[in-house]
């Protein structure tokens, strides 16, 4: 889902679009498709073993493309995975300080 200038949302996480990573992903996936098509249209007629080897190489490329394409995708996030942003310390609201009891500003104030 597009979120703004050069930013995308995947599962609620907004990441920046990185043109180099996307270009590398598409080059690797294009190589994968080319290997499969060439292996099973041309090479299989000459050497079936070579066509199978080319297909095996093509089977390894999609996971590599995903790793390369998402390399550093979350490095621009401020917090690591599972870490919550630091919260300011807050004093608990005591029963005598509650606004319904007439003391809105906490201890030390006169009602």
Measured CA to CA, the distance from residue 65 to residue 70 in angstroms comes to 8
Q: Is the pLDDT confidence value at 21 over 50?
A: yes
Question: What is the arithmetic mean of pLDDT over 16-21?
Answer: 72
pTM of the model: 0.53
Three-state DSSP string of the chain: CEEECCEEEECCEEEECCHHHHHHHHHHHHHHHHHHHHHHHHHHHHCHHHHHHHHHHHHHHHHHHHHHHCCCCCCCCCCCCCCCCCCCCCCCCCHHHCHHHCCCCCCCCCC
Query: Domain locations in the chain?
Result: 18-72
Question: What is the arithmetic mean of pLDDT over 79-95?
Answer: 62
Residue range 30-61, pLDDT digits in tens: 999 999 999 999 999 999 999 999 999 999 99
């Amino acid at each position: 889902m597009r979120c703004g200038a050069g930013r995308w949302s995947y599962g609620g996480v907004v990441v920046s679009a990185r043109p180099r990573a996307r270009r590398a992903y598409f080059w690797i996936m294009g190589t994968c498709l080319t290997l499969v098509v060439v292996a099973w249209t041309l090479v299989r007629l000459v050497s079936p073993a070579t066509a199978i080897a080319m297909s095996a190489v093509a089977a390894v490329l999609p996971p590599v493309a995903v790793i390369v394409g998402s390399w550093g995708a979350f490095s621009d996030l401020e917090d690591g995975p599972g870490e919550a942003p630091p919260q300011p310390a807050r004093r608990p609201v005591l029963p005598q300080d509650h606004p319904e009891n007439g003391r809105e500003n906490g201890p030390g104030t006169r009602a």
